[in-house]
Chains A and B, each alone.
Chain A
Amino acid sequence: MRVIARRLLFYIVTAILAVTVTFFIPRLMPGNPVEAVLSHLMGNVTPATIRSLEQQYGLDSKQGLWGQYTTFWVHLAHGNLGVSTSYYPSTVTSVIRSALPWTIGLVGVATVISFVLGTLLGVLVAWRRGTWLDNLLPATTFFQAAPYFFVAFIALDIFANRLGWFPTGRAYNQLDFPGFNAAYVGDVLDHAILPAATIVLCSAAGWIVGMRNVMVTTMDEDYVLVAQAKGLPKRRVIWYAARNAVLPSVSGFSLAIGFVVSGALLTEIVFSYPGLGWILLQAVSGRDYPLLQGIFLIITFAVLLANLAADSVYVLLDPRTRQEA
C-alpha cells in the first residue's frame, strides 16, 4: 500500500501545483485580470459584476499576492470558482455541474470501451503476426494521427447528414427533461452512439499498437515457451502472455488519458454535445476566463483521479510492486 500512498502524495502535490498555475496565469499576463475579463464582456457590465470579479481575483481587499492566493484556496474549498461571464449570472460551478455528467458518461464509457477493445485487438494482431492482420497497423497509424474532431466531421457528414442514421448533434431531442423513461434513455443513447464511436475509433488505435508491440516481445519470453511446451491449451498460453503484456498499457494510461480526454472534448464540440467540451468552446469564444480556469481545474482533477485509479489497478495486477513496498 505504500506504493499507492506515494502516488497519492504525488497526485496531491500535482493538484496543488495545478491550482497554483491556475492562480498565476492570469496574473502573469499584462494588465490586471479583471480588466482582461471586462474587456471581453462587451457592454453589459454592471458594477456588481465588477465587484464580484474583483472579489474573485482578490483585488478588492488590497491583499498582497499571498493573501490573494489563500483567498483563492478558500473560495476553491467552498466550490466557488467565480461567476461565468458568458453564462452570466450563472456561477462557474453550476455551469460545470450541468455539463459534467454528459462528459463523464460519454468520455468515460468510450474510454473504457476503447481500452478493452484496443487491448484485445492488440493481442489478436500480435498473436497472428505475419498474417493479413498486420495490415491493420497502417490503418491504426492513420487514426492515431488524424485529429479526433476531423474524424468526427466525417462521421457526422456521412452517418448523420447524408445517411440520416443518427441525429446531427446534441445529447437528446426533448427540450425538457421528461424523466427517466425508456424513450428518453433510448434517445440519449441514439445521440451518444456517433460521438462515442468516434472516440473509440481514434483512441483504440493507440491501445492496439501499444498492446501489440508489448505482446510481440512478451511472446518471446521463456515462460510463454514453457507454457506452450507443457502443452497447455493455446487459449491459456495467450492468456498468460496477455496478462503480462497488459501491464505497460495500464502504467502508460496516465500518458494516454490526457490525450484521450482532450480529443474527446474536441469531439463533443463537433457534435454540439452539451458536455465540458462544448462549454469549453463557449468559454474560449466568449473569453470567459473564470469558466476556462474552472474547466481546466475540473479536467485536471478528473485526469489525476483516473491516474490514481490506474495506479491502484496496477498495484493490484502486479505483485512485484507490492513486494517492493
Chain B
Amino acid sequence: MSIGTGTDLGGTGLGGLGVGGSGPGDQPGAGPLPPPVSAPIRGRRIQLPRSPKIIAGLAMLAVFLIVAIIGPIVAPYSPSASSSTTNGVPQPPSAAHWLGTTQTQQDVFSQLLAGGRSTILVAFLAGIAATILSVVIGVSAGYLHGRWADDLLSMLANFFLVMPALPLLIVIFGFLSPAGATNDLLIGLIIAITGWAWGARVLRAQTLSLRSRDYVESARIVGERGWRVVGFEILPNLAPIVAASFLFTVLYGVGTYTALAFLGLVNPEHWSWGSMLFEAQNSDAELSGYWWWYIPPGLAVAFLGTSLALLNFGIDEFINPRLRAAGVARRQAKKSGGQGLPRRFELGLTPVVRSRPAPGAAASTVAASTSTTSTTSVAASTSTTPRTREQTS
C-alpha cells in the first residue's frame, strides 16, 4: 500500500495566514491546480525539512513557552503593584525597572512576563479546540460527500468563514460579563467557535480527494468499517494539514485575544499582552513617546505570531516542494561553486538540483525536491537557459 502524502492541495500555500493565499480546493476551478505531487516517503517516518524557517520558528516558540510557564514566577515585581511616587509620569527603562514603568509605576517587564501565560494559554486552548472541531467537521463532511450531512456541514463552515469574526466576538464578549472576561478556558473556547471553519474547509477538500484514492477504496471494499477507514487510512495522511491548521488557529487566537483585550473586553487586571496595550492606549502612551510601554507587548505578540507563521511556512514547503525548491537550489548552487546550474530561476523552470556524485554533496535534503520534479522540466531548464540568460542581460 502506498503511503504517499497526497498533496494536491491547490498549491496555494497553507500558511501565509490563509490571507488571500488559500484557494479553496473544493470550488470548481479554484485556480490552476498543480499536478499531484507525491513524495515517495521511505518508511513511515515523516521527516520535516530542516529548513532555517522551522528551526527559527521552533526556537522562538520554545522561548515563548518557557515564558508562559515560568514568567509569572520569575517576574521581579507584581504586575499590578503600583505606587504614585513620580506623579503619574511613566519612567523610562532603568536598572530597577528593565523596561520602565507605566503611569501608575507598575513594572512593564513584570507585566510582560506575567501576561505571556494568559496570552499563550488562550491561544493554544483556542487552537486545540478549533482543530478538534475542524477535524471532526471537515473530515466528516468530506467523507460523507454527496449526502445532506456534507451540505449542512459545509454550509456551517462557509457561514463562519464569511462572518467577520472579531465583531461577532465583540458582541458576545460585550454581553458576557460587564467587568470583562477573566476565564482563560472560556475565552479560548469562544475564540475557537469562530476559528475552526478555515481548517474544516481545507480538510474537507483534502478528504474528498483522498477518499477516492485506490488504497482507501480497497480498504472499503475489504470491508473495513467507516471509522476505521477514516481513522487509519485517511487521518494519518491529513497530518500535515491538521498541523498547519492548528498553527494557523493558534496564530488567529493570539491576534484575536490580543484584539479583544486591547478593546477592554477582557478584564484589564487579568494581565495579558493585549491588556497591556489597552492600558497604554488609554494613557496615550504612543502620543507621549512612552515607547517602553507599548513596544514590548506589541513585539511579543508579533514575534509569537512570527514563530507560528514560520513553522507554518515550513509545513507549507513540506506539503508543496516547489515552494522550497528555490532555497534548496540556491544553497546547493553556492556549495557547488555555481557550476552547471543557472543561478536565477525564472518562469517555467522548477529549479532542480541533481545531487551529483561530487564530494560533500548533501543528498538528503535535495532528494525530496529532485524526486518530486518531473523530468520534463529538467530538460526544459537546460534547453531554455541560454535564451533566458540572453534576455536578462
Interface residues of A (CB under 8 A from B): 10-11, 13-14, 17-18, 21-22, 25-26, 29, 36, 39-40, 115, 118, 127-131, 134, 137-138, 141-142, 144-147, 149-150, 153-154, 156-157, 160-162, 168-169, 203, 205-207, 209-214, 216-221, 224-225, 227-229, 231, 234, 237-238, 241, 244-245, 247-249, 251-256, 258-262, 265-266, 269-270, 280-281, 283-285, 287, 289, 292-293, 295-296, 299-300, 303-304, 307, 318, 320-321, 324
What separation, in Å, do the CA atoms of A222 and B12 have in the docked complex?
18
Select A144's contact among B19, B164, B294, B345, beta carbons within 8 Å. B19
Query: Which residues of chain A come closer than 8 Å to B329, judged between CB atoms?
Result: 130
What separation, in Å, do the CA atoms of A295 and B346 have in the docked complex?
48
B16 touches A210 (CB 8 A): yes
* Interface hits, B275-319 → A, CB 8 Å: 277, 280-281, 285-289, 291, 294-295, 298-299, 301-306, 308-310, 313, 316
Rounded to whole Å, the gap between the CB of B271 and the closest CB of chain A is 17
A40: nearest chain-B partner, CB-CB: B178
Most buried by A among B162, B171, B289: B162
What separation, in Å, do the CA atoms of A129 and B346 have in the docked complex?
7
Select A253's contact among B20, B176, B286, B344, beta carbons within 8 Å. B20
Query: Which residues of chain A come closer than 8 Å to B24, judged between CB atoms?
Result: 251-252
A156 touches B171 (CB 8 A): no
Q: Knowing A10-B158, A145-B302, say if A224 contacts B277 (CB, 8 Å).
A: no
Most buried by A among B159, B170, B289: B170
Residue pairs across A and B with Cβ atoms less than 8 A apart, 27 shown, are: A11-B162, A29-B176, A130-B327, A138-B306, A145-B306, A146-B305, A147-B302, A153-B294, A157-B291, A168-B287, A206-B20, A209-B19, A213-B21, A214-B21, A217-B322, A219-B347, A219-B349, A224-B348, A228-B347, A234-B391, A247-B32, A248-B22, A252-B20, A256-B18, A285-B264, A292-B170, A296-B167
**Is B106 part of the binding interface, using a Cβ–Cβ cutoff of 8 Å?**
no
**Is B246 part of the binding interface, using a Cβ–Cβ cutoff of 8 Å?**
no
B265: nearest chain-A partner, CB-CB: A284
**Is B62 part of the binding interface, using a Cβ–Cβ cutoff of 8 Å?**
no
Interface residues of B (CB under 8 A from A): 10-13, 15-24, 27-32, 34, 155, 158-159, 161-168, 170-172, 174-176, 178, 198, 251, 255, 258-259, 262-265, 277, 280-281, 285-289, 291, 294-295, 298-299, 301-306, 308-310, 313, 316, 320, 322-323, 326-327, 329-330, 343-351, 377, 380, 384, 387, 391
Query: Which residues of chain A come closer than 8 Å to B280, judged between CB atoms?
Result: 153
A248 touches B178 (CB 8 A): no
Could you tell me the dominant secondary structure of chain B's interface residues? Answer: helix
A320 touches B20 (CB 8 A): no
B347 touches A144 (CB 8 A): no
A262 touches B31 (CB 8 A): no
Select B19's contact among A29, A161, A228, A259, beta carbons within 8 Å. A259
Query: Which residues of chain A come closer than 8 Å to B285, judged between CB atoms?
Result: 153
A221 touches B32 (CB 8 A): yes
What separation, in Å, do the CA atoms of A26 and B310 have in the docked complex?
40
What separation, in Å, do the CA atoms of A324 and B351 have in the docked complex?
35
Query: Which residues of chain B come closer than 8 Å to A287, judged between CB atoms?
Result: 174, 178
A127 touches B346 (CB 8 A): yes
B298 touches A321 (CB 8 A): no
Query: Which residues of chain A come closer than 8 Å to B10, judged between CB atoms?
Result: 248
A219 touches B348 (CB 8 A): yes
Select A130's contact among B299, B310, B344, beta carbons within 8 Å. B344
What separation, in Å, do the CA atoms of A204 and B161 have in the docked complex?
20
